[in-house]
């Protein structure tokens, strides 16, 4: 059953709305933000925004839908584990693998594989996404840290929110950046015109990405990317915003290369033909271990499909 709550802000309470609801109802900040995005929280009778503050005398109405039962089956799937200890593991996800079950992807995910290889992870951090602290898109390869205990999950989630987990990527983007490095600081939210996409939206969640040219190709750049935040599709959206979408990105860069004509058109067409997915790889991960505090550093070279394309570009 859906639960409905009416909360009155007391004297002395003045804070961000999402924090207020989280503390009053004992819900995670992530769950509260989802309720806000779905329009299930109202402030003084009107739809509320996450960034708003509550003041004494305000009335907050919250609608919390019933949690649906989750039944995820362990599956014996290939899984590259680059590090494992009693608290966590770091995996190198292959392109094409979805991180957790969702509509259209009920099985064959990273979570299904984790439950087979690490059965004790079931329920850690929630039943729907056991162990998952951060995600990669289906067609993005590379490094992910996974929590094996609730305490580790909380610690790593807090570290990500505090931007203490450092995540670096390699991306190939069409065209050439006008300057390097360049930092994009632009908020991201669901595209109001297409709910399947993300976009730069005023009032969206803060998002910051740093791009630096690693190699300059004929009509593209190989970029080293540093995430300051970790929003959905952040790198892809910010590169589209710059006018240099990720090569092979069917959502944010489809058809962009058609504008690259002239004597280099044959090179552009051949590179497009060779790309079977977006050129985006999580190449480095840095964080301090929640138990002993030592810095953990992991690196993953470009996988075979992307390294072969890079080799072809360099040979031209």
Cβ atoms of 150 and 216 closer than 8 Å: no
Residue 146's DSSP bridge partners are: 89, 132
Place of tokens 């709550």: 5
137 is catalytic: yes
Catalytic residue among 92, 137, 139, 221: 137
- Nearest C-alpha neighbor of 189 from the set 201, 179, 177: 201
d(CA 114, CA 125): 14
Strands 188-191 and 182-185, by their bridges, are unpaired
Within 10 A of 249 (CB to CB), how many other CB atoms are there?
25
In this structure, how many other beta carbons lie within 10 angstroms of the beta carbon of residue 126?
Answer: 17
Q: What are phi and psi of 312, to 5 degrees?
A: -65, -45
The alpha carbon dihedral of 121, 235, 198, 228 has a sign of positive
- In angstroms, the CA 18 to CA 53 distance is 9
Burial zone of 1 (CB within 10 Å; 0-12 exposed, 13-18 middle, 19+ buried): exposed
Q: Which residues are catalytic?
A: 137
């Amino acid at each position: 059953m859906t639960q409905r709550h009416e909360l009155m802000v007391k004297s002395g309470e003045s804070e961000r709305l999402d924090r207020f609801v989280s503390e009053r109802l004992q819900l995670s900040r992530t769950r509260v933000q989802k309720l806000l995005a779905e329009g299930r929280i109202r402030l003084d009778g009107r739809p509320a925004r996450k960034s708003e503050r509550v003041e004494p005398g305000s009335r907050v109405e919250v609608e919390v839908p019933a949690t649906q039962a989750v039944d995820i089956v362990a599956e014996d799937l290939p899984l590259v584990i680059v590090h494992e200890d009693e608290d966590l593991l770091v995996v190198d996800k292959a392109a094409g693998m979805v991180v957790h079950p969702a509509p259209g992807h009920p099985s064959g995910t990273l979570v299904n594989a984790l439950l087979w290889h690490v059965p004790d992870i079931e329920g850690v951090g929630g039943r729907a996404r056991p162990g998952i602290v951060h995600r990669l898109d289906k067609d993005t390869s590379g490094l992910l840290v996974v929590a094996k205990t609730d305490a580790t999950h909380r610690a790593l989630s807090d570290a990500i929110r505090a931007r203490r987990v450092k995540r670096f990527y390699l991306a190939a983007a069409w065209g050439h950046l006008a300057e390097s490095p360049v930092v994009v600081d632009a908020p991201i939210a669901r595209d109001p015109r297409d709910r399947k996409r993300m976009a730069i939206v005023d009032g969206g969640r803060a998002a910051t990405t740093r791009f630096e040219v690693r190699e300059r190709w004929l009509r593209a750049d190989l970029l080293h990317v540093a995430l300051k935040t970790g929003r959905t599709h952040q790198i892809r959206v910010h590169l589209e915003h710059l006018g240099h979408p990720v090569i092979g990105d069917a959502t944010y860069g489809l058809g962009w290369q058609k504008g690259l004509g002239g004597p280099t058109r044959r090179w552009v067409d051949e590179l497009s033909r060779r790309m079977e997915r977006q050129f985006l790889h999580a190449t480095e991960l840095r964080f301090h271990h929640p138990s002993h505090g030592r810095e953990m550093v992991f690196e993953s070279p470009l996988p075979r499909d992307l390294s072969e394309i890079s080799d072809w570009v360099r040979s031209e």
